[in-house]
Amino acid sequence: MHVDDIIADFFGPQTITQSLVVLIKSNNVEKDAMMSVLSICLNSPLQCALGTEGLYPFQNLTYTLVYPYKYMTKQQLVTVQRISDELCRDETRMAWMCMNLDYVSCAIDMPVRFAIPDVVLYGVIQILEQRHRELGFESLDVAQNVVIKRLFSLTSLTRVHLLSARDLNARQAA
């Protein structure tokens, strides 16, 4: 199933931090790129749409995020190539559309799935641990409080998601 491959190779615990960094840096969204990208990641269903620029992983009516091929790992490129080959073999499973002035082939038989909120929050925690000063925060605690409170106001995240993300962060660090 394509959506499971996208989740595993782009939005799983081992890849989420890099994926969020790439999406934040490579997409010209509003002033607050981090919050815009995170809001889209947590509120928009996943899709498998491939264009000349890269993977368009989210169905979003206001802004289309692209994950450029040039930033993909070898495993991610293998996954994208496999999905592309499967779509080309059975063209009844795909539709063509225009996104960001790019012609995109999109799988049309995918179940509605979202990025796992706990894993996205884990990625946020990782980014803040690594770059809170670069983002203009004095301390990690302040950065986490501000960003997580803003995410809670923009999404349907709960305290359970946050606790699970912190638990995942502690396990990965051990």
Q: What pLDDT is stored for residue 30 in this prediction? A: 64
106: helix, strand or coil:
strand
Domain residue ranges in the chain? 2-173
Which is more confident, 13 or 59?
Answer: 13
Over residues 2-24, mean pLDDT = 92
Residue 98: CB partners within 8 Å, gap ≥ 6? Answer: 104
pLDDT digits (tens, 9 = 90+) for 78-132: 999 988 888 777 766 566 565 565 666 666 666 778 889 999 999 999 999 998 8
Q: What pLDDT is stored for residue 11 in this prediction? A: 95
Over residues 159-164, mean pLDDT = 92
